[in-house]
Amino acid sequence: MRKDLIGRITEEEIEDIVVNIKKEITDPIEWAYKHGIHKFKVDVQNEDGYPLKLVGTFSFRSGNFSFALLLRNRRIRGLDCGRKVHHNPECEKIKGVHKHKWTDAYQDKEAYIPSEVDCSSIVGALRAFIEECNIKLKATIRKPLIPDSLDKYW
C-alpha cells in the first residue's frame, strides 16, 4: 500500500477498516510515564496492511484519559474520558465523555456522546474501545503505574 496516499482514504473506506477488516493486537499494552503523562502505543496488525496503531494517554493529575485508533497520523476513532468539553463544527457542545469519529467533512473534529461507556476503570474502558473497533486482543493489558511523587490535585 502506498503510504503517501493514505490521506485520500475516504470515510467509507475507514468505516470498512473499522467494521470489516480483521485486526489484532499481539504486543502487550504497557504504559510508559514521561512529561507528566502515561502513554502506550501498539501496532494493530491487519490483513490488508493498513498502518494502524492504537494509542492511549492518561494524566493522573487531571484524571483525563483518551484512546485513539490511528491510521498513520489520522485519528479514525477516539474516546475521551474525563472533564473535557468538546465543541462540534455544527456548534453543539459536549461536556465530559465523548467519542471522535473520522468524517470526510470534518476529519476528527466531529464528536458524539456514546450511549454506553464506563470510564470508571481505565482498563475496562480500553477493553471496550478495542472491542468496539473490532480488534482482537491477543495480549495483556497493564494498568498505568502511578509514581509516588505524583499528587492528584483534586
Partner 1 sequence: MSCTQAIEEALMNLPKEFECEKLDEKTWLVTTPFEYPDGDLIQLYIIKMDNLFEVTDLAETLRFFETLDFDLLSSKRRRKLFEDILRSYKIEFFKGELKVKVKTEELLKAILDLSQAIFRVSDLYFLQRIGVTTTFKEEVEEVLKEANLNYEIDYSIFGKSGKEYKVDFYIDVEKPNLLEAISTYSKMYAERLIDRVVRMWYDIKRLDGRFEYVTIVDDRSDVWKKEHFDLLEDLSKVYVWSEVEDYIVEIS
- Contact residues toward partner 1 (CB under 8 A) are 1-2, 4-10, 13, 16-17, 20-21, 34-37, 39, 41, 47-50, 53, 55, 57, 59, 61-62, 64, 66, 68, 70, 73-75, 78, 80, 83-89, 100, 104, 107-111, 153-154
Beta carbons within 10 angstroms of residue 33's beta carbon: 15
Positive or negative: CA dihedral 87, 88, 90, 92 = negative
- CB of 100: closest distance to partner 1 in angstroms? 7
d(CA 98, CA 153): 23
Residue 81, strand partner residues: 65
**Sign of the CA dihedral 71, 73, 75, 81?**
positive
The distance of closest approach from Cβ of residue 147 to partner 1 in the complex, given in angstroms and rounded to an integer, is 10
User: Is the Cβ of residue 106 or residue 136 nearer to partner 1 in the bound state?
Assistant: 106
- Please say which residue, 109 or 127, places its beta carbon nearer to partner 1: 109
